[in-house]
Amino acid sequence: MDDAFTSDTHQDIGRVLVSSTAIARRVVELAQQVGDDYAHADGRLTVVPVMTGSLLFAADFVRALPQRRLRIQLTTVSSYGGKNTASRGSTLAGALPKHLEGHHVLILDDILDSGGTLRLLRSEFESRGAASVRACVLLRKKIPSAMSTPCEYCGFDIDDEFVVGYGLDYDDLYRNLPFVGTLKPEARA
């Protein structure tokens, strides 16, 4: 039984949108595709996970990359916070990676919806002299703002619903779920 999902173990979850099995398979596929695209970047690939939402995705992704000589530098961008289920706009909430000049930068993020995070980071990294800047997201909402934001690698396109699990949270809860799912309305009360 995939994800051992029952109403008893995850009483707040309305339904599973992406199973842990599907996530694991897709993360490996994305890592292979990125690895092929950056085969020439020996030691000049910098992966930048956007914390905290991409934590689980980033951990699995970088371990699946064929490159062994790469840098990982974290950054934090605030878009939601607490019990907000709609983006409030993206602002830097932590330090930006250093020494990006001449490096190929891959932004890793959990979800693409408003596009603000990717636009902000892409602009910052390009202005710091990155050789290239690409983005990889686990989830992309099928809404105009997300679909029109440049994103070179995407795990899954999903409907415009608020989701949790596999790093995504509601009020800092549910990040540890192995799947991506929706919350029951009463769980957001």
**CA 105 to mean position of chain CA atoms:** 15
Please tell me which residue in 3, 109, 110, 113 is annotated as part of the active site. Answer: 113
- Residue 158 CB partners (closer than 8 Å, separation 6+): 17, 18, 139, 140, 141, 142, 180
Identify the pLDDT of residue 22. 98
User: DSSP secondary-structure letter at 23?
Assistant: H
SS3 (DSSP) at 187: helix
Single-letter residue type at 141: K
| Band (97; pLDDT cuts 50, 70, 90) | confident
**Residue 41's beta-bridge partner residues?**
none
- pLDDT at 107 (0 to 100): 98
What confidence score (pLDDT) does residue 90 get? 65
Coil, helix or strand for 67?
A: coil
Q: Smallest Cα–Cα separation from 54: which of 115, 173, 139?
A: 139
Lowest mean pLDDT, pick from 95-99, 111-115, 161-165:
95-99
What is residue 168's DSSP assignment? B
Domain covering 20-158 assigned CATH 3.40.50.2020 in the classification: yes
CA distance 86 to 162: 8
Q: Among all chains, which residue has been given the structure tokens 């996970």?
A: 49
Whole-prediction pTM: 0.89
Q: Confidence band (pLDDT; 50, 70, 90) for 10?
A: confident
3-state DSSP call for residue 170? Answer: strand
Domain boundaries, the chain: 20-158
Alpha-carbon gap, residue 99 to 117, rounded angstroms = 20
Residue written as token pair 């974290």: 74
Q: Extract the runs of DSSP E, i.e. beta strands, from 9-146.
A: 13-18, 45-51, 71-72, 75-78, 91-92, 104-112, 132-141
The pLDDT value given to residue 42: 82
pLDDT tens digits, one per residue of 26-84: 999 999 999 999 999 888 999 999 999 999 999 999 999 998 899 999 999 876 555 55
3 is annotated as an active-site residue? no
Residue 1's pLDDT is 40
Instruction: Give the model confidence (pLDDT) of 146-171 as tens digits.
Output: 999 999 999 999 999 999 999 999 99
The pLDDT assigned to 94 comes to 67
